[in-house]
Amino acid sequence: MRVVPLFRNDPSDYSCVSYWLLGENNHASDRNTLLDTGSAHPDNLSFMLREMALWPKGIGKRAVEQIILTHAHFDHTGGLPGLDGLLGPITYAWLPSGQQHRPVQDGQAVTVGDQPGILLHTPGHSEDSICLFLPETGTLFSGDTLYRITDHLGSYPQAYVNSLERLAELNIKTIYPGHGHPIAQGAVGFIRTCLDNVHHSLIHG
Ligand SMILES: [Zn+2]
């Protein structure tokens, strides 16, 4: 699996990190995937297409055959209409999104690049949040579900606690979050520390 983070570092644009996911050897059976599309900023689409032009995508294959949206916030989904128009991908998302939407069920299997993946419904940051987990490599694409929680001052819905508890049970080696850098070491410890701090914080219905 090749994971290509796509992020246009522009202080005037609030956008997530998108991840372009490709098979290692460009087999015809690979599913070229974009996880989150970034914001609707007009420069984002051309930036992504430029970056994608630099990599082999498989003969006759589109750069993006499917999109996975971790949730519907604007900084993750704004680029969808432009990509839809140009590349016509299938879109997996919890809520109806894109021209070729595929509804997501918790635990749904999906091929990503050259690996089997599982889509997990992890509500909390938003009702519609999902994560993509690749069990073969212990890779988690967490959208906005995971972020560093270092104190007991926050207030969290019970659904979020449940989602963190679930993620803490997975054998995760690398986390690719929706914002910031990947966590390549101590991923499980990172989640358990966040969860511990959440357990000591205010939890509401
Ligand atoms: Zn968000």
pLDDT in tens, 22-46: 999 999 999 999 999 999 999 999 9
Instruction: Tell me the per-residue pLDDT of 126-174, one tens digit each, with 9 for 90 and over.
Output: 999 999 999 999 999 999 999 999 999 999 999 999 999 999 999 999 9
The arithmetic mean of pLDDT across residues 95-112, rounded, is: 98
Distance (angstroms) between ligand 1 centre and the Cα of 79 equals 15
Pairing of strands 18-22, 108-112: unpaired
Q: What residues sit around ligand 1, an ion, with C-beta below 5 angstroms? A: 73, 144
- Mean pLDDT of the chain, nearest integer: 96
Specify whether 10 is catalytic.
no
The arithmetic mean of pLDDT across residues 166-188, rounded, is: 96
> Of the residues 30, 75, 84, 114, which is catalytic?
75
Can you tell me the distance from the alpha carbon of 50 to that of 69, in angstroms, rounded to the nearest whole number? 21
Domains detected in the chain: 2-204 (3.60.15.10)
**pLDDT of amino acid 205:** 81
Q: Looking at the DSSP assignment, which residues form a beta bridge with residue 117? A: 110
Residue 201 DSSP one-character state: S
User: Taken in order 188, 150, 160, 103, is the CA torsion positive or negative?
Assistant: negative
pTM assigned to the model: 0.96
